[in-house]
């Protein structure tokens, strides 16, 4: 039977402020338990929350980044529920009047088409603490360092129709918050967390099916697994005559399954009311304009410019856009090699360099090869000094020990052979050494051509210009065919 999947995502983005949203306690990750939780975070009697200006500015940046409406008046409410990691017994969050309404993100689909995902809202709130269940028998340990860390919860419309679309949206949002420098995007440390609302319905049905909310899906890979697993679970239930119950399910990455969880509050009865300790947040056009003037070029604008200016494929542009630093690095390389060789530069940045960074687990900002050096290397490929093979050898040497591109080419003898006579002499030697293969090739075994290319490259240490070698080989081999 045919089913259509409907997915909406709620993403909690930890804002990269130095201090908490309502207190002056630090937000740095990894501190000793409870050393960064002050009386305000702990909800001691008599304390008052005061809103962090930078958290507000970051929310405005996100709103501008998704072409949303920045609300001139937003209100903080208390969301009441009992859980040990929520010391006040309520979470301060924006409910009826969030700071950001509407907006959208365009995502790239597998067939290279663009789909617009609408965003419902984004609101400011405080994070809860953490519970540790394993260490003390019969007890849970509570670390409240994270309590009060500013969060921006970004809620999408149920516009996604597959797990892959959900991952694309999540990646686009991840890229955006890092471009805007409002979040470090570290999913392992919980700086960027995703809940997914998943339901299925018959194609054409206007009414949405009953949804399940999936929590705890904190990597791009898990998002896809968790959603696909949940879709199959719902299909199995409906096709065997059952009914989906609205519930919260938790994804267990170890078992690759979702399972029903006890809710933090039985009846979602959060008894919201405006927080009497906080006046409404009002913004002026001037404030919003000031922040707008500080915005960097946004990922979608940059993506389009990469297509227009450098004639990259949508895929290449997307890879380079995975972080602002990588995109900046690429543009620094292009500044050296010129737009004519932008595609070649893109191949090296998104290919060899990205792989090396990944392998050694290094961020682009700490790359062992500077954009300037990689630019010199690409230039030497472009002017035929290096073949792709010798360029890789040089790249490895630069990555391990650094050095000057031209000096290393000389010192390591990596210069590509482009002298036709030298290539002809080497080709003749290969032909003389392999009479049986030559006879076979000339009698019609065209596939042997690769064998001769391989022998010539082996003999020369990979230094022959591939195109020239092909031409000379073809000419020589076909002489007596």
Nearest to 166 by CA among 99, 223, 90, 120: 223
Q: Can residue 407 be called a binding residue for other proteins (CB under 8 A)?
A: no
Tokens 């989906």, residue located:
244
Q: Which of 5, 19, 367, 416 binds other proteins (CB under 8 A)?
A: 19
DSSP class per residue in 387-417: -HHHHHHHHHHHHHH---HHHHHHHHT-PPB
Is there binding between residue 26 and other proteins (CB under 8 A)? yes
Candidates 98-106, 277-285, 301-309, 341-349: pick the segment binding other proteins (CB under 8 A): 277-285
Q: Give the burial string for 156-183 (b: 16+ CB within 10 Å, else e).
A: bebbbebbbbbbbbbbbbbbbbbbbebb
Nearest distance in Å: CB 142, other proteins: 4
Where in 150-209 is the site for other proteins (CB under 8 A)?
Answer: 151, 190, 193, 195
Decide: helix, strand or coil at residue 245.
coil
Name the token pair of 261. Answer: 């969880």
Which CB, 250 or 422, lies closer to other proteins?
250
* Contacts (CB under 8 A) with other proteins, residues 100-139: 125, 127-128, 130-136, 138-139
Q: Binding residues for other proteins, how many (CB under 8 A)?
A: 75
- Report the residue from 66, 281, 448, 477 that binds other proteins according to the rule CB under 8 A: 281
| Paired strand residues for 429 | none
Stretch of 63-71, 73-81, 430-438, 473-481 contacting other proteins, by CB under 8 A: 73-81
Sorted by sequence, the CB contacts under 8 Å of residue 158 that are 6+ apart come out as 6, 7, 8, 197, 199, 208
Stretch near other proteins under the rule CB under 8 A, chosen from 52-60, 220-228, 237-245, 311-319: 52-60
Residues 6+ apart with CB under 8 A from 260: 247, 248, 249
Q: Does 280 bind other proteins (CB under 8 A)?
A: yes
Stretch that binds other proteins, among 45-53, 155-163, 333-341, 374-382 (CB under 8 A): 45-53
Q: Which is nearer to other proteins, 128 or 423 (CB)?
A: 128
Token match 């005559």: residue?
241
424 with 444: CB under 8 angstroms?
Answer: no
Part of the chain binding other proteins (CB under 8 A), chosen from 72-80, 219-227, 375-383, 459-467: 72-80
Distance CA 193, CA 222 (A): 11
Q: What is the nearest approach in angstroms of other proteins to the Cβ of residue 244?
A: 18
Is the Cβ of residue 86 or residue 426 nearer to other proteins in the bound state?
Answer: 86
Residues 76-95 that bind other proteins (CB under 8 A): 76, 79, 81-84, 91
Give the Cα separation of 399 and 401 in Å (integer). Answer: 6
Report, in Å, the least distance between residue 353 CB and other proteins.
34
Residue 226 or residue 398: which is nearer to other proteins going by CB? Answer: 226
Binding of other proteins at residue 141 (CB under 8 A)?
Answer: yes
Select the span of 166-174, 227-235, 272-280, 353-361 touching other proteins (CB under 8 A). Answer: 272-280
Look at residues 8, 140, 82, 79 and name the one whose alpha carbon lies nearest to residue 263: 82
Could you tell me the smallest distance in angstroms from the CB atom of residue 228 to other proteins? 19
Q: Which residues pair with 274 in a beta bridge?
A: 77
Q: How far apart are CA 116 and CA 100, in angstroms?
A: 18
CB of 265 to other proteins, least distance (A): 7
For other proteins, the binding residues in 203-242 under the rule CB under 8 A are 215-216
Q: Closest CB to other proteins among 38 and 457?
A: 38
Q: Using the rule CB under 8 A, is 286 a contact of other proteins?
A: no
Nearer to other proteins, 55 or 357 (CB): 55
Long-range contacts of 295-304, Cβ-Cβ distance < 8 Å, separation of 24 or more: 295/61, 295/64, 295/65, 295/180, 296/179, 296/180, 296/181, 296/324, 298/65, 298/176, 298/179, 298/180, 299/172, 299/175, 299/176, 299/179, 300/105, 300/106, 302/179, 302/327
Residues counted in the chain: 481
In whole angstroms, give the CA distance from residue 386 to residue 423.
Answer: 15
Contact pick of 3, 29, 54, 272 for other proteins (by CB under 8 A): 54
> DSSP secondary structure string, 344-401?
HHHHIIIIIIHHHHHHTT--GGG-SS-HHHHHHHHHHHHTTSS-HHHHHHHHHHHHHH
- Of the candidates 298, 352, 360, the one whose C-alpha atom is nearest the C-alpha of residue 324 is 298
What tokens does 304 get?
A: 């389009």
Interface with other proteins in residues 292-331 (CB under 8 A): none
Question: For other proteins, which residue of 282, 304, 365, 467 counts as binding (CB under 8 A)?
Answer: 282
Out of 279, 295, 335, 411, which residue is the one contacting other proteins (CB under 8 A)? 279
Report the site for other proteins in 347-406 (rule: CB under 8 A): none
For residue 358, the minimal CB distance to other proteins (Å) is 26
3-state secondary structure of 210: coil
Q: Which of residues 242-271 bind other proteins (CB under 8 A)?
A: 250, 252, 259-262, 264-267, 269-271
In the complex, the smallest distance separating the C-beta of residue 185 from other proteins, rounded to whole angstroms, is 18
Q: Toward other proteins, which CB reaches closer, 18 or 292? A: 18
């Amino acid at each position: 039977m045919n089913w259509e999947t409907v997915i909406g995502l709620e993403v909690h983005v930890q804002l990269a402020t130095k201090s908490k949203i309502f207190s002056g306690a630090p937000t740095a990750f990894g501190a000793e338990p409870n050393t960064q939780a002050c009386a305000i975070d702990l909800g001691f009697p008599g304390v008052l929350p005061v809103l962090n200006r930078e958290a507000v500015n970051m929310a405005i940046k996100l709103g501008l980044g998704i072409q949303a409406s920045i609300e001139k008046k937003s209100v903080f409410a208390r969301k009441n529920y009992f859980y040990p990691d929520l010391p006040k017994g309520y979470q301060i969050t924006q409910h009826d009047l969030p700071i950001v309404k509407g907006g959208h993100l365009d995502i790239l689909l597998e067939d290279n088409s663009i789909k617009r995902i609408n965003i419902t809202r984004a609101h400011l709130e405080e994070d809860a603490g953490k519970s540790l269940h394993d260490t003390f028998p019969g007890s849970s340990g509570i670390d409240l360092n994270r309590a009060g860390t500013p969060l921006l919860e970004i809620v999408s419309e149920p516009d996604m129709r597959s797990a892959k679309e959900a991952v694309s949206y999540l990646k686009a949002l991840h890229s955006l918050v890092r471009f805007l420098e409002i979040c470090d995007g570290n999913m392992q440390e919980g700086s960027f967390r995703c809940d997914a609302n998943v339901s299925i319905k018959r194609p054409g049905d206007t009414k949405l099916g009953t949804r399940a909310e999936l929590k705890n899906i904190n990597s791009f890979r898990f998002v896809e697994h968790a959603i696909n697993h949940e879709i199959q679970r719902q299909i199995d239930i409906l096709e065997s005559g059952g009914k989906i119950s609205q519930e919260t399910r938790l994804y267990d990455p170890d078992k690759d399954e979702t399972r029903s969880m006890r809710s933090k509050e039985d009846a979602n009865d959060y008894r919201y009311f405006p927080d009497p300790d906080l006046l409404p947040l009002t913004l002026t056009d001037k404030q919003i304009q000031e922040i707008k003037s500080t915005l960097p070029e946004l990922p979608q604008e940059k993506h389009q410019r990469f297509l227009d200016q450098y004639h990259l494929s949508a895929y290449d542009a997307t890879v380079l856009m995975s972080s602002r630093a990588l995109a900046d690095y690429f543009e620094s390389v292009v500044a050296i090699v010129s737009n004519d060789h932008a595609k070649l530069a893109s191949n090296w940045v998104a290919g060899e360099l990205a792989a090396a960074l990944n392998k050694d687990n290094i961020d682009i900002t700490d790359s062992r090869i500077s954009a300037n050096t990689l630019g010199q290397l690409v230039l030497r490929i472009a002017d035929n000094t290096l073949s792709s093979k010798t360029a890789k050898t040089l790249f490895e040497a630069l990555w391990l020990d650094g050095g000057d591109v031209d000096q290393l080419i000389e010192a390591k003898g990596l210069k590509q052979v482009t002298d036709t006579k030298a290539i002809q002499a080497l080709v003749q030697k290969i032909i003389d050494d392999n009479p049986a293969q030559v006879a076979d090739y000339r009698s019609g075994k065209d596939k042997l051509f690769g064998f001769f290319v391989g022998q010539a490259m082996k003999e020369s240490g990979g230094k022959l210009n591939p195109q020239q070698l092909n031409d000379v080989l073809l000419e020589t081999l076909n002489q007596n065919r």
